[in-house]
Structure 1
């Protein structure tokens, strides 16, 4: 990190905070603070939704996922366009006609106050966990950059974000999302340029992609029918559909964005923008991870683990790690030579490259085995699972990008995280202030009191998120962790909304019974790991709907007999 890099970061943060505070001063009423007075244009809302998706979790977690696993994760988004079209037809006009502040307020009008309270509670739990992961992502980066403990960087990032969000509102969040989206896209374009430019002169981009393809990292579609397989075309088209319907249709952090749109048409256009852009954008982010793998195949020995300095208290463990590192340096050199031979042979005659490809894959397997041995050693030494996926991207940024671009990429990561977590904290505050405080404790609360409670709730959830982030940094790929957390709740919540729209005879008791049983089934499946986490969304929705219909029908027929 040079003075120029720090200057870039400081200048961007200063502009972001000053502009956010200026926009936030306009939102002093509850409608302004929580819904931006329903005044935002479609492109503002659309870019805000997109920026929330392309958060620091995506930049850090998805690039690491692309490095280790290739493009398979893109299948996760296959159902997104379908979900957006469905929501444009159903949820968007329904919420706008109801003129609600939260998605759960709509459920009270359809069912009863208990349903609103229970769904709000589950949202607060799920989004509180997810916000912890959002704060953890930049904290990991900051820890690598400055060499500070992750505990300190989590608290620093969380406190700054919470203070900013307390003073702002949804209008400030949305406009900052637009600005940070531009910075992120510029940063990603610069990353792609550097990765291509840093390939050896004798290796073209096309040949580098063939090297990645030999390891399976360019496989974007998997047709496996194994339910325990996380990313397949079936989980992407079917299981993910339930996740996206719930996330964009039932999660207040997203619903709040298009509730702030100026019209139904503006809200629809904002969702359709994401439907068309998200998959290619996510594929590009994963491709950056794949190209980082290609870079390290041809570069001098990459780190044995991407986590900075490794400190081991046990002398025997230190000696074992040193030997693994020495063996890894030899193995990566052999892999580089094997990759160059494979490229040369394939260039001369692709049909005869099979033996050279086999030799390269054997060298890659030796590198993978040494990396697994190192992570196992570190896991045993620290007493907790060790995963360096989230450190791959920041390590590359700090060690390989030129001066100035390092600051730009770090500014993009921090801005993305601050904006995303600010939006989520604002949604948590909205639900706490309106669905809980205003509905149950102070129905006559004034505008000023609701805004004050919203700010206090923001501070509370910011503290909650910081505590959760201390744990989240050790859970593996952050983009996978945040979606796993959501899958514990989203399916059952979606089932309640499906009952509200699709079954006129469904009542509050049926909705609550279905929600509780659906959530219980999902948590049992998650604990036993019987199915991949994406399928939990479909299971939760279906169980909630079936139980809700049965209980409602029993009560309906019982009521008719009494009459």
Structure 2
């Protein structure tokens, strides 16, 4: 990167962290530290909720997801507005009525201490691991692109977040997230405008190319349990995931519990519900435009330059060069056919368009086969080599083609997103550890100042754990899918506990506690055998369905156990 890019990158990050510390510096009690003084307005809450969910993984992985798989990932968010309405009607009034610090306090008043502790523990396990992934995921990409040491990048991101999160608590997180959201969306919109301007064809022609090459596949109404992203999984599995994430995950609950009133918190949630889908649409569409750009300008054969350099320096250099030549030849042929297809569209020759489309898609498959051979070479050269390069697509395009200054801004986008989501997670982990475990079960009856200080210490400890976990983590699958998978393993059981509490007044704590443990065990068992057989039954389920299955298992098992206990 140029000197201007480095100045913009570090200047942006230092200003955000410094502003957060400055605005929230000074003595606080537990109420102000954990709930921000309850003076947040609706748009601050809405931006904070959006920034918490919009991690660096969103901006690194989502464009790459669209590049390789098209727009269908947008269906994952179709259930979000419905989830926000349900939470605003049922969850928020109860939280405000009880004046809770964490969502799990409700469970003790409704059930008992062990059920509250179980739900809090499931959250701490899931979110503690997720915090590590939230740091690790961007770090492995950024360290590769910037040629930094991976562990240095992990520690750099982690320490920046710990500084202002420990210093200012909930209010510092919410205040800094406003600036971070401005940087994130401003940078992404600018990148989208630039990539469209750089296309050698008209915007309408770019849409034709994207459509004919199956990248504008926004909706799929075919019901298929094994399909991760279709309309039905978005409106059911993802709906349960969002209800659990926004309604029971303390990293989100803490954002809207800081509102000045129930009305402000509701408006903040609804703002997220109606802006998140367009936001994800924009990010996915940018990925599609990058795909179209690379149909006219030859893309790298493999987007992770580090792995390419390893091949270049190995005995497989000549094999890689041969594959590169074949890829280039295929690209030139396909590029010529694309222009012919655009001419046929102008001349309104549907039969010729259909013929050229089939030829182009066949050529695209041939090029993917060449890319697969490269991945095989990478694994032969280094069995631990990373062969999934979709997470590198967008930032590789940024570094290769965007002007000076914009590159630094886009890196600031990624760092800001990593900081915003990690800060919310650490803030929630510190709050839950303090309120639901330390204050409730380990050290009762101390002063408000004592619990405020313990929350700071626990936030810092969780930050250290996240850094350590990130330093020893290994990447699996696409980053955004990795985070959603981790949440889906636990969120269903947690949501089931809350829905039993809200909707099934006759079910008691003991039955709910046993049901949640059994349901969580079943979900982990299903995931372990997913893609194979369990007790002779073939299992092939998209992970979003874990949320609905886990939730419904808790509710049905709790009802059954309660009936048995009564008899």
TM-score by length of 2: 0.94
Spell out, residue by residue over 1:406-428, the C-alpha distance to the aligned partner (whole angstroms, 9 max, x if none): 11111121112111101111001
Alpha-carbon distance in 2 for matches of 1:281, 1:165:
26
Match of 2:225 in 1: 227
Alpha-carbon distance in 1 for matches of 2:220, 2:472:
32
Match of 1:290 in 2: 288
Q: CA deviation at 1:515?
A: 0.7
Alpha-carbon distance in 2 for matches of 1:154, 1:297:
35
Match of 2:317 in 1: 318
Alpha-carbon distance in 2 for matches of 1:478, 1:464:
20
Q: CA deviation at 1:467?
A: 3.2
Match of 2:216 in 1: 218
Match of 2:328 in 1: 329
Q: Does 1:476 align with 2:477?
A: yes
SS across alignment from 2:300: coil
Alpha-carbon distance in 1 for matches of 2:52, 2:31:
22
Map 1:36-435 onto structure 2 (within 5 A).
Answer: 36-200=36-200, 203-299=201-297, 301-310=298-307, 311-312=310-311, 315-351=314-350, 352-384=352-384, 386-435=387-436
Q: Is the contact between residue 312 and residue 320 of structure 2 (CA under 8 Å) also seen in structure 1? A: no
Spell out, residue by residue over 1:460-480, the C-alpha distance to the aligned partner (whole angstroms, 9 max, x if none): 222222233346562132111
Alpha-carbon distance in 2 for matches of 1:322, 1:128:
44
Q: Is the contact between residue 386 and residue 474 of structure 1 (CA under 8 Å) also seen in structure 2? A: no
Q: Is the contact between residue 162 and residue 462 of structure 1 (CA under 8 Å) also seen in structure 2? A: yes
Q: Is the contact between residue 133 and residue 473 of structure 1 (CA under 8 Å) also seen in structure 2? A: no
Q: CA deviation at 1:316?
A: 4.0
Structure 1 gap ranges (5+): 559-563
Q: Is the contact between residue 139 and residue 150 of structure 1 (CA under 8 Å) also seen in structure 2? A: yes
Q: CA deviation at 1:514?
A: 1.2
Between 10-19 and 447-456, the greater mean CA deviation after superposition? 447-456
Match of 2:510 in 1: 509
Alpha-carbon distance in 2 for matches of 1:338, 1:464:
53
Alpha-carbon distance in 1 for matches of 2:265, 2:380:
50
Between 14-23 and 98-107, the greater mean CA deviation after superposition? 14-23
SS across alignment from 1:488: helix
Q: Is the contact between residue 26 and residue 32 of structure 1 (CA under 8 Å) also seen in structure 2? A: no
SS across alignment from 1:222: coil
Residues 453, 325 of structure 1: alpha-carbon distance in 2 compared, 3 angstrom cutoff: farther
Match of 1:19 in 2: 19
Q: CA deviation at 1:27?
A: 6.3
Alpha-carbon distance in 1 for matches of 2:129, 2:373:
31
Spell out, residue by residue over 1:37-73, the C-alpha distance to the aligned partner (whole angstroms, 9 max, x if none): 2111111101111122222111111111111101000
SS across alignment from 2:104: helix
Between 189-198 and 452-461, the greater mean CA deviation after superposition? 452-461
Match of 1:464 in 2: 465
Alpha-carbon distance in 1 for matches of 2:476, 2:164:
27
Root-mean-square deviation (CA, aligned residues, Å) is: 1.7
Q: CA deviation at 1:339?
A: 1.6
Match of 2:535 in 1: none
Q: Is the contact between residue 338 and residue 363 of structure 1 (CA under 8 Å) also seen in structure 2? A: no
Structure 2 gap ranges (5+): 531-539
Q: CA deviation at 1:370?
A: 1.2
Alpha-carbon distance in 1 for matches of 2:69, 2:468:
30
Alpha-carbon distance in 2 for matches of 1:379, 1:151:
23
> What is the number of equivalent residue pairs in this alignment?
554
Q: Is the contact between residue 34 and residue 430 of structure 1 (CA under 8 Å) also seen in structure 2? A: yes
Spell out, residue by residue over 1:500-556, the C-alpha distance to the aligned partner (whole angstroms, 9 max, x if none): 01111111111111111111111111112231000000000011011111122222x
Q: CA deviation at 1:148?
A: 2.2
Spell out, residue by residue over 1:325-368, the C-alpha distance to the aligned partner (whole angstroms, 9 max, x if none): 23222222222222222222222224131222222112211111
Spell out, residue by residue over 1:386-443, the C-alpha distance to the aligned partner (whole angstroms, 9 max, x if none): 2111111111111111111111111121112111101111001101111111111111
Q: CA deviation at 1:160?
A: 2.6
Alpha-carbon distance in 2 for matches of 1:304, 1:214:
22
SS across alignment from 1:169: helix
TM-score by length of 1: 0.95
Alpha-carbon distance in 2 for matches of 1:26, 1:549:
49
Alpha-carbon distance in 2 for matches of 1:85, 1:76:
17
Match of 1:561 in 2: none
Match of 2:527 in 1: 526
Alpha-carbon distance in 2 for matches of 1:27, 1:109:
31
Alpha-carbon distance in 2 for matches of 1:343, 1:66:
22
Alpha-carbon distance in 1 for matches of 2:207, 2:150:
35
